[in-house]
Chains A and B, each alone.
Chain A
Amino acid sequence: MTLWLIPFFPLLGFLINGLFGKRLSKPAVSLFAVGSVALSFIYVLILLSKLYPLTTPYTEHDFTWIHSGFLQVGFDLTVDRLTALMLMIVTGVGLLIHTYATGYMQHEEGYARFFSYFNLFMFFMLVLVLASNLLVLFVGWEGVGLCSYLLVGFYYKEKFASDAANKAFIVNRIGDFGFLLGIFLVVMTFRTLDFGQIASAVSSMPVETNAGILTAITLLLFAGATGKSAQIPLYVWLPDAMAGPTPVSALIHAATMVTAGVYMVARTAFLYNHSTIAMSVVAVIGLFTAVLAATIGVAQNDIKRVFAYSTVSQLGYMFLGLGLGAYSAGMFHVMTHAFFKALLFLGAGSVIHGLGGEQDLRHMGGLRKSMPITFVTLGIASLAISGFPFLSGFYSKDAILSAAYEHAPWMFWIGALTAGLTAFYVFRAFFLTFFGTYRGHHHPHESPLSMTFPLIVLAILSAIGGFFSVPHLLAPLFPLSTGPENITPMIISASFGILGILIAYVFYVANPALAETVRVRAGGLYTLVLNKYYVDEIYAAFIVRPLEVLSRYGLWKAVDVGLIDGAVVDGGGRLVRSVGGLLRQLQSGSIRNYATWVMAGSLIVIFVLGLVGGSVR
């Protein structure tokens, strides 16, 4: 049982493609890239079948990384059922998206570079998932952030891409700062970083109802999660991150990396369970993110941006679930979301690919005839995300909303309304893409098999994924709720979803003029939503601008130029010069003079040591 082999395969792929990629042919690059992930996937399957039923975590100590005082941090990997679920999602969906990317990226520059980054991402993601302590998790956490940066800025020659990459990276830094502080607090509080040891330490502590150390830790860690998983207030980077190639959006910004925050919260559930305040914060932030993102999504015209906001919204759902204590429901949604959101993005990618790079919904339409496979699979995905009965999204969303219904009805109603909104804007995009008449110029065509095959597989998974009951799988970790099954929230949320689909059908297929009327009527509200509530502008005006001004005039001009350069550096230099001017008289260049000084000095030393020291003794 060597767990390190799982991340090792993608690392190998990264090294091969990164070092020799330029000299390898494209098929060879694809072979190494996809092959390494495939090996990883197969190895995960073998490993999990051997470790079944895995009711207790299996931990592996690879080497001691840091040994300093009381702190002992090992490079430890661990597998429990939560990890197993994530491993399956990451390697499985990762494999499909890798396969898809070989087709999608076929004509792009930097083929090997793309796949080396992609494999590196897989490596870090697997490290993150397998981590047995916070520090190793943080390594993976930062690593995937790095890969996200690299891949968002993949088209680094375009300004918008590098800007988006910078934005993603910097916004994430803010969250990671909190995360790091949280880790420090953990070290201070528990003197260890190991999840198991922290859990056993925490179990003896009382649940904090007021603000306490555990609340501080969990909120700081959650700050990291809001950055990585795009929650209020740090969600702004994710829509911009769509500047990267579509497989990147699918794998990193929909299926895996952005769920790292959810995974982390679930992983440290034992901490959150001890802080009611943190739980409420998580739930409320999740809920508001879900609503906010959904409303923005209604008015977006870029197909990928629509899906990006839906990702933010769905992540909000997951955090809502986590915050309500329904961790398994949140993780369930992580899984189904990975299937249908990856499918949505890949389908969108297929459309974009087929249209030669066109992303604007206003220039699409009527594609169902020319792209039948994409049409069907994307349809399944849209139904799944809308919570259409008996598709995967239905079950996971229901699990979360049921929890909300039990916990606080107002949360449930807002959540259900959001589900309707989600259904509406996803189908708006779907109808605008595939129905009506074609409004673009490029000749549309269906994508190659390497792209459609993952679509089909993911479509099947999106359809039936809900029957794979994650809450039961995670029962050893997160006990199932014992309350009676309540069917009311299920019916309400499903009907909201279907209602959303119907409204979308009326607006964009049956009577397109109506949509225009509503838009004009809404007026200011529409503009507000179209411009994403001006959040970016508000951030710029109230945070970025003041910081810039402070940096430029306060720190740079006053502190750096005036104080550090002027007083410390130049002043130090002047001082050294003047003292040196005196001392250089000694620097005669004559070794014999130096020797005389040495001699005089040693005489004094001998005198002191020999006479004073001797007499004292």
Chain B
Amino acid sequence: MDTVLFVIFAIVSLICAFNVVLQTHPISSALSLVGVMGSLAVLYLLLGAEFLAMTQVIVYGGAVMVLFVFTIMLLNAGSEKSSSKSWFAQIAGLPLLLAFVALMGFLIKGVMPALPAVRFGSFIGGTAEQIGRLLFTEYLLPFEVISILILIAILGAVVLARKEID
């Protein structure tokens, strides 16, 4: 069953990811990205990260991507125009990417020690309780630092988005 689920959602996420890159309209890309995130959430569930799966949907799907969609709608961003600049990226990008995928594939398949098979339910570490416990004990300092980071981000966003920047 988990194999079926993995195959389905892996394919969905790949299709959506291709869509993100290939669609010309930002909003299509955004929606495709939501699809990637949703299918990734299912994969997280398969890997025993139930809390993160839900957080993924809430934070990415519900907050970050809504912000994206909101901005796209607000700016009424249309389809992209083609541009002759950045020829270097256009030429070198694809070979580099293919090299990257090949390298990673080789590393994962060839170099890395054998990895276990994924069975749903064999690792149920990622409950809210355990994550919370770790977050508020061992990772308390990073957690607090991240809170401050968010505060700064909020202030920064507010300052940036003001009508007049004095």
Chain A contacts to B: CB under 8 angstroms: 588, 590, 592-593, 595-596, 599-600, 603, 606-607, 610-611, 614
B63 to chain A, nearest CB (A): 25
Q: Chain B: which residue is nearest A610 at the CB level?
A: B107
With contacts A588-B86, A590-B86 known, is A610 near B96, CB below 8 A? no
Residues of B within 8 A of A (CB): 85-86, 88-89, 92-93, 96-97, 99-100, 103-104, 107, 111
Cross-chain pairs A/B with CB under 8 angstroms, 10 sampled = A588-B86, A590-B86, A590-B88, A590-B89, A599-B93, A599-B96, A599-B97, A600-B92, A603-B99, A610-B107
- Expressed in whole angstroms, the minimum distance between the Cβ of A126 and any Cβ of chain B is 44
Contact, CB under 8 Å: B86 / A603: no
**8 extra A-B contacts, CB within 8 A, seeds A593-B89, A599-B97:** A590-B85, A592-B89, A600-B96, A603-B96, A603-B99, A603-B100, A606-B103, A614-B107
Count of A-B residue pairs with CB < 8 Å: 41
CB pair B111–A593 under 8 Å, yes or no, is no
Given A603-B96, A607-B103: A614 in contact with B111 (beta carbons within 8 A) = yes
Please tell me if the beta carbons of B99 and A596 are within 8 angstroms of each other in the complex: no
**Cα of A611 to Cα of B88 in the assembled complex, Å:** 27
- What's the minimum C-beta distance from A308 to chain B, rounded to whole angstroms? 59
Question: Which residues from B are CB-within-8-Å of A606?
Answer: 100, 103-104, 107
Residues of B within 8 A of A600 (CB): 92, 96
What distance in Å separates the Cβ of A583 from its nearest Cβ neighbour in chain B? 15
Q: Which residues of A contact B86 (CB under 8 A)?
A: 588, 590, 592-593
When C-beta atoms are compared, the residue in chain B nearest to A613 turns out to be B111
Q: How far is the CA of A592 from the CA of B92 in the complex (A)?
A: 11
On chain A, the residues within 8 Å of B99 by CB distance are 603
Cα separation A610 to B107 with both chains bound (whole Å): 7
Complex Cα gap A397–B96 (Å): 93
**CB-contact partner of A596 in B88, B103, B104, B111, under 8 A:** B88
A607 neighbours in B (Cβ, 8 Å): 103
Cα A614 to Cα B88 in complex, Å, equals 32
Assess the A596–B100 pair: CB atoms within 8 A: no
Residue in chain A with minimal CB distance to B93: A596
What is the CA–CA distance of A343 and B86 in the complex, to the nearest angstrom? Answer: 86
Contacts of B88 in A (CB 8 A): 588, 590, 593, 596
The closest CB in chain A to the CB of B91 belongs to A596
Please indicate the chain B residues that have their CB under 8 angstroms from the CB of A603 in the complex: 96, 99-100, 103
Residues of chain A within 8 A (CB-CB) of B104 are 606
Q: Which residues of A contact B111 (CB under 8 A)?
A: 610-611, 614
Q: Which residue of B lies closest to A595 (CB)?
A: B89
Contacts of A595 in B (CB 8 A): 89
Q: Is the CB of B100 within 8 A of A599?
A: yes
* Bound CA–CA A603/B101 (angstroms): 10
- Interchain CA distance A592-B86 in the complex, whole Å: 6
- How far does the Cβ of B115 sit from chain A's closest Cβ, in whole Å? 15
Closest A residue to B111 using CB positions: A614
A588, B84: Cα distance in complex, Å? 13
6 closest Cβ contacts across the A-B interface? A592-B89, A590-B86, A592-B86, A596-B89, A610-B107, A593-B88
Q: Which residues of B contact A596 (CB under 8 A)?
A: 88-89, 92-93, 96
Name the distance in Å between B9's Cβ and chain A's nearest Cβ: 27
Q: How far is the CB of A585 from chain B (nearest CB, A)?
A: 10
On chain B, the residues within 8 Å of A599 by CB distance are 93, 96-97, 100
Whole-angstrom distance from the CB of A494 to the nearest CB of chain B? 78
A23 to chain B, nearest CB (A): 33
Residues of chain A within 8 A (CB-CB) of B107 are 606, 610-611, 614
A residues in contact with B100, CB < 8 Å: 599, 603, 606
Q: Quote the shortest CB–CB distance from B29 to chain A (angstroms).
A: 16
In the complex, how many angstroms separate the beta carbon of A156 from the nearest chain B beta carbon? 41
User: Closest CB of chain B to A586's CB: distance in Å?
Assistant: 9
Write the nearest CB–CB distance from B82 to chain A, whole angstroms. 13
CA distance A607 to B96 in the complex (A): 12
Closest residue of B by beta carbon distance from A602: B100
B103 — which chain A residues lie within 8 A by C-beta? 603, 606-607, 610
- Which residues of B lie under 8 Å from residue A593 when comparing CB positions? 86, 88-89
Minimum CB–CB distance from B116 to chain A (whole Å) comes to 20
| Assembled-state Cα–Cα distance A603/B97 (Å) | 9
* Nearest Cβ on chain A to B61's Cβ, whole angstroms: 26
**B89 proximity list for chain A (CB < 8 A):** 590, 592-593, 595-596
Give bound CA distance, A588 to B107, whole Å: 33
Contacting residues, chain B, for A614 (C-beta < 8 A): 107, 111
Q: Looking across the interface, which residue of chain B has its beta carbon closest to that of A615? A: B111
Beta-carbon nearest neighbor of B96 in chain A: A599
Residues of B within 8 A of A610 (CB): 103, 107, 111
- Docked Cα-Cα span, A614 to B93, in Å, equals 27
Chain A nearest Cβ from B105, distance in angstroms: 11
CA distance A599 to B89 in the complex (A): 10
Identity of the chain A residue whose Cβ is nearest the Cβ of B92 in the assembled complex: A596
Q: Give, as a whole number of angstroms, the nearest-CB distance from B81 to chain A.
A: 15
Cα-based distance from A603 to B93 in the complex (angstroms): 12
Q: How far is the CA of A611 from the CA of B103 in the complex (A)?
A: 9
Closest to B100 in A: A603
List the A side residues contacting B85 at CB < 8 Å: 588, 590
The answer for the CA separation of A611 and B86 in the assembled complex, in Å, is 31
**Neighbouring A residues of B97 by C-beta, 8 Å:** 599
Chain B residues with CB under 8 Å of A611's CB are 107, 111
CA distance A611 to B112 in the complex (A): 10
Whose C-beta in chain A lies nearest to the C-beta of B104?
A606
CB distance from B28 to the nearest CB of A (A): 20
Nearest Cβ on chain B to A93's Cβ, whole angstroms = 56
Q: How far is the CA of A607 from the CA of B103 in the complex (A)?
A: 7
Complex Cα distance, B103 from A603, in Å, reads 8
Q: For residue A588, which residues in chain B have a CB less than 8 angstroms away from its CB?
A: 85-86, 88
Measured CA separation A603–B92 after assembly (Å): 13
Per the bound structure, the CA–CA distance linking A611 and B102 in Å amounts to 13
Residues of A within 8 A of B92 (CB): 596, 600
Query: Roughly how many angstroms separate A596 CA and B93 CA in the complex, as a whole number?
Result: 6
Q: Which residues of chain A are near B96, meaning CB under 8 Å? A: 596, 599-600, 603
Query: With the chains together, A125 CA to B135 CA distance in Å?
Result: 55
How distant is B13 from chain A, measured CB to nearest CB, in Å?
22
| Residue in A closest to B108 when the chains form the complex, CB atoms | A610
Instruction: Give the residue among B85, B86, B99 with the most A Cβ atoms within 10 A.
Output: B86
Query: CA of A489 to CA of B100 in the docked complex: distance in angstroms?
Result: 100
A607 to B67, CA, bound (A): 37
CA distance A593 to B89 in the complex (A): 5
In the complex the two chains form, what is the Cα distance from A607 to B99 in whole Å? 10
Bound-state Cα–Cα, A610 to B102, Å: 13
